[in-house]
Amino acid sequence: MIIDTILGNLLQNEQYARKVLPFLKEEYFQYRTDKVLYKLIDEYVHKYNSIPNKIALEVEASDVTGITEEESKQILTKINTLSAEEGDLDWLIDQTEKFCQDKAVYNAIMDSIQILDGKGTNSKGSIPKILSDALAVSFDTHIGHDFLEDADTRFEFYHLKEKRVPFDLDYFNDITKGGLPLKTLNIALAGTGVGKSLFMCHCAAANLVNNLNVLYITMEMSEEKIAERIDANLLNEPIDMLSMLPKEAYDKKVERVKSKTKGKLIIKEYPTASAGAGHFRHLINELKIKKSFVPDIIYIDYLNICVSSRLKHGSNVNSYTYIKSIAEELRGLAVEFNVPIVSATQTTRSGFTNTDVGLEDTSESFGLPATADFMFALITSEELEDLGQILVKQLKNRYNDPSVNRKFVVGVDRKKMRLYNVEQVAQDDLIDDKPLFDKSDFGKKLSVEKKSMFENFI
């Protein structure tokens, strides 16, 4: 019997016990006597850092309260009959892992039935999470990277082509070495009305055409408004003309887009400041079960109006800590589901009128740029608007050297909610000759001194 094999080896095979104890749970054992025995062994190992012998276990068992005299006798009898299984250690561990997986799934199904019968403490919406957690049970035997012994593995990693989600904008691909890596948080910084949502809608449309599954979560605009912007982009129609398209013409354009892609685009709206990483996790799990939809990239519009799953807003928590917490949770979500997440944040009031936005212009929390993997500013001015362009400035880049192509411009067609590459001559006019800390007191002083020297020279 597998239970006796597990308990016997826990009692007499220290190497086995060290490997499997972190993954065993009391709920995996059906009978009360087996639960008590497992708990006694587990507590002994945690307290004394060694497995107990039979005499020590008998002493510990005699002090157990809350069990009947008959159960106490059964436990003592079982201790004397337990023995270690003679066999390959790897085989024993594999069998124990299978036991844990089977028990986890069984328990999850029974819990789900209890919830459906109205006897459980959780809601029906928690069932997908309960089942997915049970199916994810496994023994993780990796305990660290051995620098010398694992050199070959490291070499292979250096030459491994990392999967990325590419842009359809050349300069964005250049500065990210081909697109956004998986398990990353990427942030666009811009003032109100500059084009944060336009940027994300354009990228979402481009991803869809590139056969990717896209999840767009909005808390600022309605699902219909986001879909309208993406329609204007993909259907090549001015946004104010969509309502004038005949149904037949509209259907033909949609069918044309559908025929060009194997991807899907799901847009989900949440009320402002009502959802966070926990809600998004539940949504992703539901989409997988109900629609067989697994996103390749996620857009969240936008980060500052999400809620934290760990901190309660207004409960003596400052904005730095709160926004940083949201950023950490979203980055954790990206790692958990192996996707890049793209979101946005507002500039401060001074940053709104600044044509050279920096990290210090991030509103509410400097903890956000500290957490993000890639952060860039979208900047506009009257001159850029007349040219139909948006200036992009790299603020933080973990994928490439941020000093290369620190600033560049992309074309913008606001009527069709579309961005596009511009001719190289437009990039050649950008000269990033300002001091790195030009907004600090030292930077301002340096700028004044340079200006004075120039005037004296003339």
pLDDT for 447: 54
Q: Is the pLDDT of residue 454 over 50?
A: no
Residue type, 296: D
Please check the confidence at residue 407 and state whether its pLDDT lies above 80. Answer: yes
pLDDT exceeds 60 at position 180: yes
Confidence class of residue 249 from pLDDT cuts 50, 70 and 90? very high
Contact 343, 180 (CB under 8 A): no
**268 forms bridges with which residues in the sheet?**
217
Cα–Cα dist 456/458, whole Å: 5
The dihedrals phi and psi of 212, each to the nearest 5 degrees, come to: -105, 155
Taking 90 as the threshold, does the pLDDT of residue 414 lie above it?
yes
SS3 300: strand
Percent of the chain whose predicted confidence (pLDDT) is above 90: 47
Residues whose CB is less than 8 angstroms from the CB of residue 150 and which lie 6 or more positions away in sequence, other chains included: none
* Closest listed residue to residue 137, CA positions, set 98, 193, 171: 98
pLDDT of residue 172: 96
Q: Look at residue 121 in the predicted model and tell me its pLDDT.
A: 78
Q: Give the model confidence (pLDDT) of 79-95 as tens digits.
A: 888 887 666 888 888 88
Whether the CB-CB separation of 267 and 228 falls below 8 Å is answered with no
Among 424, 356, 367, CA closest to 393: 356
Report, as an integer, the average pLDDT of 431-442: 45
User: Do 254 and 235 form a contact (C-beta atoms < 8 A)?
Assistant: yes
Predicted local distance difference test score (pLDDT) of residue 184: 96
Q: Is the pLDDT of residue 75 over 70?
A: yes
pTM: 0.67
Residues contacting 283, CB < 8 A, separation 6+: 215, 217, 268
Task: Indicate if the pLDDT at residue 333 is higher than 60.
Answer: yes
Tell me how far apart the terminal alpha carbons of the chain are, to the nearest angstrom. Answer: 95
Alpha-carbon distance of 21 to 81, in angstroms, equals 21
Out of 162-171, 337-346, 439-448, which region has the weakest mean confidence (pLDDT)? Answer: 439-448
Distance from C-alpha of 309 to C-alpha of 95, rounded to nearest angstrom: 37
Which domains, from first to last, does the chain contain? 2-135 (1.10.860), 164-422 (3.40.50.300)
pLDDT in tens, 138-170: 876 666 788 888 888 888 878 777 789 999 999
The pLDDT value given to residue 338: 94
Tokens 């044509």 identify what position?
A: 355
